[in-house]
Structure 1
Amino acid sequence: MDRKLAVIMAGDIVGYSRLMAEDEARTYAELRTAFDAVIAPAMANAGGQIVKQNGDGFLAIFTSVNDALDAAEEIQAGFDQQRLRLRIGINVGDVIEDQGDVYGDGVNVAARLEAMADPGGIFVSRAVVDSAERTRAKSFVHLGRRAAKNIPERLDVFALKRPGGPRPARSWYPGSLVRPQALLASAAAVGLVLIGLSIQPLPLSAMMAQLPASLPFLGQAERADPRPSVAVMPFQNMSGDPAQAYFATGLTEDITTALARSAGLQVIDPSSTSAVSGERGDVRAIGKRLNVAYVVEGSARRAGDQLRVAAQLIDARTGVHVWTESYDRHVEDVFAVESELTAQIVASLVSYVDESERADAVRRPTGNLQAYDLVLQARSRFKHDARGADDLLAARALYQKALELDPSYAVARAGLGATYIVDHAQRITGRATERDAEIGLSEARQAIRLDPNLALGYQVVSFGLSMTGDHAGALQAAERSVALNPNEPDSLMALAKAQVRFGRYDEALTNAERARRLHPMAPEYYAYVHGQALYAVRRLDEAATVIRECLIRAPQDANCLLIQTAIFAARSEMADAQAAMKRLVSADPQFSLAAERSYRRFGDSPLMERFLTDLTRASAPETARTLQAKVREG
């Protein structure tokens, strides 16, 4: 045995077991090609030595940190041209070398860093950063301190940025220290929240009392994400006129949306904060319910052309007020007030921000205050979990009036497009046609042309393309929406749904879990997509728990009943599977194997065939019940 200090690199193929199950010969051939054509040459160029290869993973040692980083970048650049995706972790530490193998804590840390890394990513320890050349300093992104299995102390984790690589979710990028007076925060965007197809309204009464206490994303499980978490509670309407409530609500949503554009924060969805607003005054209870560290509370009073806004940032763990501020302005200065509020919050919670984010923050959505006011009213009339045709049509009319005043108002165009697409998807008015979906897509695309950085525009486009069957385009639009606003839970869930269809199950599960973390009181659709992703990765017991949660709140939800049926069948619990299928057919008489075969919920992957087999074993009807009845009547 020989103990020495070494640079350790651990690498592993993402989703290898699933790929082997789908096509063993192709996957193994690609793995051998990758090792021979990518990994081995990079090791030779950098003087690295592979000491262990276990199936799809490997462990290598180097004598130089910079050589290891060069090799990692070369390897990942080679994998960018491959179907396979690789994760890499690098650490510096003591190792024990024995009979050609290496052991020790230094090896364990490298392995844990690799497990944390994004597909295509390179995660490194503090020791690597401290030992690297000074010229590499700006290449490292600090992700904070993270807990790792079987390692007593939290690891100080960094990601290595590289051209063409994934942009890591981080606490901050090293850069200029933010000063409150220098930070210009995001101007008002839109908090209009969409969801995917066939959503049920969220029944909030007694819902929280019925949720399974074991669900970690709704409880007080320790978060792996180290970024500061904040919830903006609904601002109180102090105008004395209930008709002005929409203004305070819109202000809340705009501030939340502006904060959400900062990748250095975790920001809870406004719908979830509204659901717990009855606990106002008990900040610690709110913090526990939403699992956040900070809460923003405020009020708005609008009288004629005068506006007074008061806000306070509170540490939800201690109840201590971080800061309190009030603003007395002309109502036309509402955007400046929002920017100043957001600046104070970001400056208080995030130590560093990326230069591009600060430059992107200086935006005014419209120069017409009346158009902005109309958009706020439209948002107050129609939400993603509302089902009323009157509200949808009223919101559509308000968006149209806003566009008459300012045709270049991108947010209004995206909102207008959403009313057409959501109506077609959920059959709210009962009159929507394919032409409505086309109109909605046209409006959303125009919104993107007006504002190429409008995350909401890409979100609406993603749902519209999914409706028209362009699933590849929907995936691309969802990815762009999430890149522009990493805290938008509906975009994350839309991306997760698209990733399931294209076989990217691990990524889908990550995004679904993150969306539910940001929107703890989300509609049933969130649980459905989360359960679907768990079913896809064959974590059937967890999937069953998530789907039960959905059916507690909405016993007739067809999507959740469908996944529950498949889960029971996959676990060979056939009596339960057939009972769930009966409930599904009762809730959705249009359900049939033929329709599922056509819809391709899991794309063209082998999982789709297993899914259909599970449904067949549960006695799924080949054709819809209503069609069968017509045949019998004929």
Structure 2
Amino acid sequence: MDRKLAAIIAGDIVGYSRLMAENEAATYAELRAVFGDLIEPSVRRFGGTTFKNAGDGFLAAFASVNDALDAAVEIQNGFDQRPFEFRIGVNLGDVIEDNGDIYGDGVNVASRLESMAAPGSIFVSSAVVMSADRNRGKSFCHIGRRAAKNIPDRLDVYAVKRPGQPDSRWSRVQSFVPRLGVRLAYGLGATTLVLIGLSLQPVPLSAMIARLPSALSTLARTDRSDPRPSVAVMPFDNMSSDPAQAYFANGLTEDITTQLARSSELQVIDPDSASAVQDHASDIRRIGNRLNVAYVVQGSARRVGDKFRVAAQLIDVTSGAHLWTQSYDRNVDEIFTVESELTSQIVASLVSYVGKTEQEAAVRRPTGSLQAYDLVLQARERFKHDIKDPDGLLAARGLYQQALELDPSYAAARAGLGMTYILDMTQRVTGRATERDAEIGLSEARQSIRLDPTLAIGYQVVSFGLSATGDYLGALQAARRSVELNPNDPDSLMAVAKAQVRYGDYADAVASAEQARRLHPMAPEYYAYVHGQALYAAGRRDEAANVIRECLIRAPQDANCLLIQTALQAAREDLGDAQASMTSLIKANPAFSLKSERQFSRFGDTPLMKQFLTDLERAKAPETAMFVGAGDDRA
């Protein structure tokens, strides 16, 4: 059996049994003609494989979401000229291939989408929308979240608007969509926020009236390209008398952010970016402007022995109004319940409903050992993967190992442990890591996924590990799965962007990098490098130069950004500047060489890679490393 990520098309003729009853011979003949002249050629043309034919329907698998969408549109366009009405569902997900057949949730969800679809339409999952080319964005219409038979999670459903689609058929699809416009819906939702807040914290009628204009102000916000509510969870203040307890408040902040980020209905800012503007915590409008969010969560935590107190509040950035405030006095063993309640309240306030599955996911206990949980919080505090701190990395590794001694099935601890090995090998944090470390890290990350198949960080670590060992296609698939599980995780989006650059999906890489930087506006220089690299690959050289310049203003010796700057300058025939940048690059990374760049192949086996190497040669790049044994700083 072979498990892989695939785009699945499920198609079915509407009312086939009735048509057969009316004229069996003619219907069957037309059906055979449809499969022979339309469906099978379209599937093959876009690189797909039909693995099941059920008479009046079919299932086909594709390696690419975009190929699957192109095939679905071509098939549905063909049915506009046929006597049948056809409906199609498309999903991206994990499948198992065995003896020529394909099974798994990826197939099941595609079939359920097909059964929901209106005649003549194509319904797709949110995973398809997120993975499709950016230029397809306007062709998707959000239908809503729908329950499906034998599928535990509610499906986030979108319809595809086909070019030239008959208006009568599109109007049927539009009838599935709520009639309120997006801004009006969010405006009414914002009004609901006030009512929710009132139910939690009674206020005078005058205060309620004062809040309504602020709540309705979302109706006037037209400058947001993404209509989803945006929120930042600010670092919870440590109210304990012991400063060493700060890790508990920081861990609470990170866990609540992670749970919120699982909701595709929200835009959730990375906690590191929120932390970067913490100095302006008293100025909510300034925070909102810096992070480009509409709502902010602030809170505090105090832990004494086996007791803790948590207070939190949701604030409208525009008005400064506190939409709700809540506090909890609990035993430490109820920490996961409190996190779940806080997350559910925030989601319920910012979108029109909380899906049952989101609540269930939030309430799951990641471990039965509170001591193990405490050790993981300490490990996160000791080492951040964008900082080269050898002592911190080794300390974090030891803490993760202690957590696993207490609870060997703690998936997040295994993913964190795996990350310490992989980052040490790829970023040369301690200078002692080998390829064996990457193998150990991959083993731990894979085990974390086996323990919890919905753990986004597990797939992210697998993606990093596979990239480090040269399995770039596997790295891309793992990164996409991580984004599917947590669409608000900027690290996973950056992993996707790098893999897309290597495979030549340059426009998609730019889109992924831009989304990552939107979610992490205070990100480290690595984000600017990947963004600039993607723009360079996409041929958008002026934009790339601006992004790389931004990186080098903040970090003049960043080797990755110096590398892209060198290539950009050489491509523009500014050879004097290119050679000066190359000198700075070698100073920042003495291990750099053309030989290592050929081996690393950051642009894959493409004409761009050859041009990239040619430009570096013109900038006087050394063929081999100038200093033997120097640490390689490649990303």
TM-score, normalised relative to structure 2: 0.69
Q: Give me the whole-angstrom Cα distance separating, in 1, the residues matched to 2:180 and 2:523.
A: 27
Q: 1:91 to 1:556 in 2, by over 3 A?
A: closer
CA deviation profile, 1:115-158 (whole Å, cap 9, x unmatched): xxx99954899x97996337x755x5999759xxxxxxx9x9xx
Q: Which amino acid aligns with 2:550?
A: E
Q: CA deviation at 1:521?
A: 0.9
CA distance in structure 1 between the aligned counterparts of 2:316 and 2:134, rounded to whole angstroms: 40
Per-residue displacement from partner, 1:89-119 (whole Å, max 9, x unpaired)?
6799xxxxxxxxxxxxxxxxxxxxxxxxx99
Give the aligned partner of residue 370 of structure 2.
Answer: 369
Q: How far apart are the structure 1 equivalents of 2:179 and 2:382? A: 42
- Contact map agreement 1:371 1:403 (CA 8 A) in 2: yes
Q: How many residues align?
A: 484
Given that 1:232 and 1:273 are in contact with CA atoms closer than 8 Å, whether structure 2 keeps it comes out as yes
Query: Quick check: 317-326 or 575-584, which moved more?
Result: 575-584
Corresponding residue for 2:380? 379
CA distance in 2, matches of 1:518, 1:47: 45
Secondary structure at 1:132's aligned position in 2?
helix
SS at match of 1:45: coil
Q: Residues 91 and 37 of structure 1: is their aligned pair in 2 closer, same or farther, counting only changes over 3 Å?
A: closer
Return the offset for 1:616.
2.3
- Contact 2:415/2:461 (8 A) holds in 1: yes
Contact 2:123 2:159 in 1 (8 A): no
Determine the structure 2 residue equivalent to 1:246. Answer: 247
| Distance (whole Å) between structure 1 residues aligned to residue 503 and residue 269 of structure 2 | 28
**Aligned residue identity for 2:286:** A
Shift of residue 600, structure 1, vs aligned partner? 1.1
Further displaced range: 553-562 or 39-48: 39-48
**1:365-514 equivalence runs, <5 A:** 365-514=366-515
**CA RMSD after TM alignment:** 4.1
For 1:238 and 1:508, the matched residues in 2 are separated by 42
* Residue deviations 1:446-469 (CA, integer Å, cap 9, x gap): 000000000000001110111111
Partners of 2:629 and 2:235 in 1: CA distance: 50
Shift of 1:84: 11
CA contact (8 A) 1:444 1:461 kept: yes
Amino acid at match of 2:616: L
Alpha-carbon separation, structure 1, partners of 2:124 and 2:75: 6
- Is 1:132 the counterpart of 2:171 in the alignment? yes
Point out the more displaced range, 349-358 or 307-316: 349-358
Alignment-mate amino acid for residue 352 of structure 2: S
1:41 aligns with 2:78: yes
The Cα offsets for residues 27-51 of structure 1, whole Å up to 9 and x where unpaired, read as: xxx9xx9899858734533899xxx
249-258 vs 580-589, greater mean Cα deviation: 580-589
Alignment of 1:38-187 (within 5 A): 41-45=78-82, 73=122, 87=136, 122=161, 132-133=171-172, 145=182
Matched to 2:339, the amino acid is E
Structure 2 stretches of 5 or more lacking a match? Answer: 1-66, 86-116, 142-156, 188-192, 198-220, 631-635
Query: Where do 1:228-243 residues align within 5 Å?
Result: 228-243=229-244
CA–CA distance in 2 between the matches of 1:374 and 1:317? 38
Displacement of 1:433 after TM fit? 1.6
Offset at residue 301 of structure 1 (A): 0.9
Matched with 2:20 is none
- 1:620 deviates by 2.1
CA–CA separation in structure 1 for the residues paired with 2:361 and 2:140: 35
Name 1:597's counterpart in structure 2: 598
Matched residues in 1 for 2:295 and 2:400: separation?
34
Partners in 1 of 2:73 and 2:453 — Cα distance?
A: 42
SS of corresponding position for 1:317: coil
Pair 1:341-2:342 in alignment: yes
Whether the aligned pair in 1 keeps the contact of 2:140 and 2:158 (CA below 8 Å) is no
Q: Which has the higher helix share?
A: 2
- 1:119 and 1:574 map into 2 onto residues whose CA distance is 50
Structure 1 residue 232: Cα displacement: 0.6
| 8 A contact 2:134–2:507 mirrored in 1 | no
1:417-471: CA deviation from partner (whole Å, max 9, x where unpaired): 1111111111122221221111111111100000000000000111011111111
Structure 2 CA distance for aligned equivalents of residues 511 and 72 of structure 1: 28
1:516 aligns with 2:517: yes
Separation in structure 2 between the aligned mates of residue 345 and residue 258 of structure 1, nearest angstrom = 11
1:143 and 1:226 in contact (8 A); partners too: no
SS in 2 for 1:425: helix
The separation in 1 between residues aligned to 2:169 and 2:447, in whole angstroms, is: 48
Q: Residue 523 of structure 1: CA displacement?
A: 0.8
CA shift in 2, pair 1:272/1:628, >3 Å: closer
Instruction: Give the 3 Å change call, closer, same or farther, for CA 628–91 of structure 1 in structure 2.
Output: closer
Ranges in structure 1 where 5+ consecutive residues have no aligned partner: 1-29, 49-67, 93-117, 147-153, 157-169, 172-176, 182-219, 630-634
**Could you tell me how far apart the structure 2 residues matched to 1:142 and 1:514 are?**
29
Distance 1:403 1:445 in 2: 15
CA contact under 8 A between 1:247 and 1:376: conserved in structure 2? yes
Correspondence for 1:536? 537
Classify 1:398/1:547 alpha carbon distance in 2 versus 1 (closer, same or farther; 3 Å): same
